[in-house]
Structure 1
Amino acid sequence: MSTKNVQGSHIASDVRGTIAQRDLVVDLIRTACVVLVVVVHVTMVGVGVSDAGIRVTSPLQELDWYVAATWVGQVMPLFFVVGGFASAVGWRSTLARGGGARDFVSTRLVRLFRPAVPLFAVLTIGLGIATALGTPAAMLDEVAFGIGAPLWFLAAYGITQCCVPLMARLHARAPWWTLAGLLVLAAAVDALRFATDTAEVGLLNLGPVWLFAQQLGFLWADGWFARRSRLLLAAVAVGAYGLLVPMTSVGLWAPDMLQDLNPPMLPLALLAVAQACLVQLVHAPLTRLMRTRAAQGTVFVLGRDGMTIYLWHLPLYIALNGIGLLVGLPFPTPGSATWWATRPIALVVVLAVALAVARGLRRSDRPLPRLVPGTDRPAWPVVALAACCTIGPAFAVMQLHLSLGVALAGAVLVPIGVWLLCRTVPAVGVARA
C-alpha cells in the first residue's frame, strides 16, 4: 500500500471516529432549525403584482392555525439549547488543551461574525446604490427591515457566547440555582416591562431568557436528559406547554411565539424546556436516522454553511423576487393555491443560491486557528472592545432596524472586531522573539 493510500486510510478512519464520538442529533437539529427558519420566511413573505403596483403580504400569518403553529415552529429557543450543548463541549475542550476564557470567547465570536463581514459590506453597497438612485424612502425602509430581520440573532448569540465561561462555572457549582435565578430574572424583566409599558426594557432579557436556554444545553451535554425516563420527559414537556396556556391568555404575553421573540420574553424559556424534553424523547430514532449516509450527507452539506445560509437567505430571497419582477416573471397571488404550490420550489432555489454564496464565501467562515505554544489571545480589554465592535452593529439592527448608516457601521466595525480577535500575543512569561 502506498504512503498516500495509508494517509487516506488514516484520514477516513479519523473522520469515522469523529462522527462516532459526536452527538449527530445536535448537528441534525441545528441544521433543521436553519432550514425551518428559511421555510418560515419563504412562506411569510409574499410578493404580489396588481394594477395597483407591487404589494408585499404575509400569507402565513393570515392562516387560522398560524398562532398555534408558532408553539411548534418557533425553534429559536431550541437553537439556543443546541448552542448551549455545543458551547459546553467547546468550553471543556478549550480547558482540556490548556486554553482559557479569552481563547474561547475569541474563537466563538470570530466563528460567529466572520460570515457577517461580507454581508454588511454588500448591504452597505446595496442600500447606498438604492439611496443614490432615489428609491422611495418608505419602500427602502420596508425592504431594509426585512433584509435585516435575521441579524438580531448575531447580537443575542454573541452575548450568550461571551457569557459561556462564567455560566459554565455557575453550572458546575449550582446548576439548578443558576436556572432558577435566570428564570426569576426573566420574569422580573417582563414585570418591569409591563409596569412601565416600555418595550425597550425587554432588551434586558437578552441575557436571562437566552442564557436559560443555553444552560439547558449544558444539562444536555451532562447527559441529564438522557438519564431521565420517557414518562418524566413527557410530563415536563406537557407541564411547560400547560403553563404557557394561562400565561398567554391573560393579555400580557402574546400567544404568537414570534411576537414574544424580540425582545425575548418569559414564554420562550418555557418553550425551551418543552423542546429540550421533546428532542430527548425522539433522540433514539433521530440517532438511527443520522446513521444513514443520506442524512449525514444532507446535514454535512447544509450544516457546514449553516450560519452563512441563515444570514444570507432573506436578502437573497428578496433579491430573487426583485429580479423576477424586473424580468417580468408571473407572480401568483400570495396565499393562493398556486402560490402555496410554488413554495417548495422557492425553498429549493433559495437554499441552492445560499449554498452557492456560502461556497464563494467559504474563506470568511473558517474558524480561528488554535493557539500555538507560547502565544495567547489579546488581553481582556481588547477582547471586550472587539466584542462591542462585532455585537454592536447587530444590536443596532435589532433595536433601530437596518439602514444605510447601521449597515455602514457594521461594514467598518465588524471587520475591526474580527481583526482584533484574530491577533495573538506572547503568553505570560514568554519573551517576544
Structure 2
Amino acid sequence: MSALTMLKGTADRIERQTPAHRDRAVDGLRALALLAVPTGHWLLGGFTVDSEGGLHNASPLSAFGGLAPASWVLQMLGIFFLVGGYASALSFRRRTGSAGAWLKGRIARLGRPVLGVTAVWALAAPVLYAAGVPEATLRTGATLVIQPLWFVGVYVVVTALTPYCMRAAHRLGGWAAAPLVGSVAVVDFLRYGPLADSVPSGLALINILPGWLFAYQLGVSWGEGRIGRRGGVLLLTGGAVLFATLLTVFHYPASMVGVPGAARTNSHPPSLLVPALAAVQSGAAILLRDRLAKVLARPALWAPVVVINLCAMTILCWHQTAMLAAAVPGSFMGGVSGTAGLTTAPDGLGWIAARVAWMPVFAVLLVAIARHARRFEEPWRKATAVRRAVAGLLAAGFAVFALGLA
C-alpha cells in the first residue's frame, strides 16, 4: 500500500468520524492560529554562540525592521482567543455538570501538558549539563520553553470569566468588548502621554487582562449569535483604521512582538495595537467563516486540521524544544563561527534564507517529539498522588531556573 493511499484512507476515516454538527471553520481558524506560533518563533527567533559555545537569544528584528509586518500575520493570538471564546461559550452552554466542574476540566486540559514539558526539562537539564552542554545554553533553552507558557495562565483566567462574558454578550452583544478597548486606551494614554513620567511603570500590567480578554469576549458574543456579518465588517474596518492610526499618527512600534533593545513593546504587556489587530483578525474570521467551512468539507484538508487541534497544547509547549534539538548540536558542530541560519547572528539576508531552509527540519523534529509528548494531553489516570507531586516539584524547580531565580 502506497503512502498516498494510506493518507487518503486516514483522511476518509477522520471524515467519517467527524460529527455533523462540528464547526469546521472554527477548528480551521484554531489550527491556523496554532501553526502561526511555531512559525513565528522559528522565523523571528535566532541564536548567537559565545566564546565558550553557549547559545544566546538574538532576534532578526533588531537588524531588519522591515520584517515587522511579518509579525502582523504571524501574531494570531487574537484568532486563538476569538475561537477560544466561541468554543467556551458553546461548551459552557452544553455542560452537564456544575460551572466549577466545567472550569476544572478545562484547566486540567491546559495544565497537564505544561506540567509535562516543564517536568521533562527539569530532568533533562542536569543530564545535558553533565554531557557538556554549557549552562548559558541551558538557560537560553529554559527561557524559550517557558516563554510561550504565559499564554496558558492568561487563557485560564479568561476561561474562568466565561459565565460573565456570556452575560455581557446577552446584554450588549458585540459591544460587550468595547469597554475592554477603552480600558487599554486609557492605560496607554497614561503610560505614553504627557503624564508618562509621573506614572509608575507597573501600571502597564493592567492591560494584560483587558488586552487579551477583548478577542475572547468577541468570541463569546460570536458563539452566542450576537455578532453577524455587519459586526464582522465593523470589526475589520474599525480595527484596520485604529491599527493604521496608531502606527502612523501615534508612532506605536511596528512589531507585534518584542524587539531586543527597543524602548517600547506591543505585546508584554499588550498595547492598544493588540486589540486593534485582534479586531481586524476577528472581523476577517467572521466574514470568511462560511467560505472556510466549505473548503474544509474536503477530507484531505479537514484531516490535518483535526490532527493539529488534537495536538494543540503539544505544539504550543514543545515547538521551542524542537528548534533547540537542532540548535544545540549545531552549536557544537559550528563552533564560535556558528552554523548558518541556526547559530549564526541574524544580521543578513543570507540568514533569513538559511533559517527558512531549517524550518522543515524543526517541523520534523516537532512531529517526532509530539509522538511521545502527546500523552501529556491525555488524562493521567495511572498517575498517583506522589507522582503528581513529584511532577509539580520538578516543574516548579524548572520555572525557578528558567526565570533566572536560581
TM-score range, shorter chain: 0.7 to 0.9
Shift in Å, 1:125: 2.7
Q: CA deviation at 1:32?
A: 1.3
Q: What is the alpha-carbon distance in structure 2 between the residues aligned to residue 353 and residue 133 of structure 1?
A: 21
DSSP 3-state at the match of 2:20: helix
Amino acid paired to 1:160 = V
The equivalent of 1:39 in structure 2 is 39
Does 2:355 align with 1:349? no
Q: Secondary structure at the match of 2:402?
A: coil
> Which amino acid counterpart does residue 22 of structure 1 have in structure 2?
R
Match of 2:22 in 1: 22
What's the RMSD between the two structures over aligned residues?
3.7
Aligned match of 1:360: 372
2:112 maps to what in 1? 114
Distance 1:115 1:42, change over 3 A: same
Aligned to 2:339: 331
Go from structure 1 to structure 2 and tell me whether the alpha carbon gap of 1:337 and 1:13 turns closer, same or farther (over 3 Å shift). Answer: closer
Mapped to 1, the partners of 2:300 and 2:200 lie a distance apart of 49
Kindly provide the amino acid, as one letter, of the partner of residue 82 in structure 1: V
Aligned to 2:87: 86
Q: Is 1:210 equivalent to 2:209 in the alignment?
A: no
Q: Which moved more, 1:165-174 or 1:19-28?
A: 165-174
Q: State the 1:146 CA deviation.
A: 2.6
User: Unpaired runs of 5+ in structure 2?
Assistant: 1-11, 258-264, 382-391
Label 1:113 to 1:46 Cα distance change in 2 as closer, same or farther (>3 A).
same
Q: Which residue of 1 aligns with 2:222?
A: 220
- State the TM-score, normalizing by the size of structure 1: 0.72
Contact 1:148–1:401 (Cα < 8 Å) also in 2: no
Q: Which letter maps to 2:118?
A: F
Structure 1: 5+ residue runs without aligned partners? 1-11, 370-388, 407-433
- Once the two structures are superposed, what CA deviation does each residue of 1:4-63 show, in whole Å capped at 9, x if it has no partner? xxxxxxxx9997474431221111111111211111111122346699966753235533
The Cα offsets for residues 69-88 of structure 1, whole Å up to 9 and x where unpaired, read as 33333211121111111111
Further displaced range: 128-137 or 27-36: 128-137
Decide whether the 8 Å contact of 2:103 with 2:159 is kept in 1: yes
Matched residues in 2 for 1:393 and 1:78: separation? 30
Q: Point out the more displaced range, 238-247 or 298-307.
A: 238-247
Shift of 1:115: 0.6
AA paired with 1:31?
A
State how far apart, in whole Å, the 1-side matches of 2:396 and 2:252 are: 28
Report the Cα distance in structure 2 between the residues aligned to 1:59 and 1:166, rounded to whole angstroms. Answer: 41
Moved more, 47-56 or 295-304: 47-56
Contact 1:31 1:299 in 2 (8 A): yes
Aligned to 1:381: none
Q: For the structure 1 residues 313 and 199, does the alpha-carbon distance in structure 2 shift closer, same or farther, using more than 3 Å as the test? A: farther
**Residue 280 of structure 2 is aligned to residue 279 of structure 1:** no
**Offset at residue 345 of structure 1 (A):** 4.7
CA contact (8 A) 1:77 1:210 kept: yes
Q: CA deviation at 1:276?
A: 1.0
1:173 matches 2:171: yes
Q: CA deviation at 1:139?
A: 5.3
* 1:145/1:125 CA distance change after superposition, 3 Å: same
Query: In structure 1, how many angstroms separate the alpha carbons of the residues matched to 2:106 and 2:320?
Result: 24
How many residues were matched structurally?
A: 367
Q: Is the 8 A contact 1:309 1:351 kept in 2?
A: no
User: 1:24, 1:287 within 8 Å by CA — same for their partners in 2?
Assistant: yes
Separation in 2, partners of 1:104, 1:267 = 33
> CA, structure 1 residues 204+51, in 2 after alignment: closer, same or farther (shift >3 Å)?
closer
Residue 263 of structure 1 aligns to a residue whose secondary structure is coil
- 3-state SS of 1:359 partner: helix
Paired with 2:90 and 2:252, the residues of 1 have a C-alpha distance of 34
CA distance in 1, matches of 2:178, 2:275: 11
Q: Secondary structure at the match of 1:82?
A: helix
Q: In the alignment, which residue of structure 1 is the partner of 2:298?
A: 292
Mapped partners of 1:113, 1:355: distance in 2: 21
Deviates more, 1:164-173 or 1:299-308: 164-173
Q: 1:336 to 1:180 in 2, by over 3 A?
A: closer
Q: Report the 3-state secondary structure (helix = DSSP H, G, I; strand = E; otherwise coil) of the residue aligned with 2:152.
A: helix
**CA separation in 2, counterparts of 1:302 and 1:275?**
20
Question: Which of 274, 288, 308 in structure 2 is aligned with 1:302?
Answer: 308
1:51 and 1:326 map into 2 onto residues whose CA distance is 12
Verify the 8 A CA contact 2:42 2:323 in the aligned structure 1.
yes
Give CA-to-partner distance per residue, 1:221-245, whole Å, 9 cap, x none: 13444x325xx74454133121122
1:210 to partner: Cα distance: 1.6
| Separation in structure 2 between the aligned mates of residue 358 and residue 13 of structure 1, nearest angstrom | 21
- Structure 1's 401 and 239: CA in aligned 2 closer, same or farther, altered over 3 A? farther
Distance in 2 of aligned mates of 1:172 and 1:32: 29
Retained in 1: the 8 A contact 2:319–2:366? yes
Tell me the percent identity. Answer: 30
Kindly state the Cα deviation for residue 219 of structure 1 after the two structures are TM-superposed: 2.3
In 1: Cα distance, 2:294 partner to 2:307 partner: 19
| Aligned-residue offset at 1:107 | 0.9
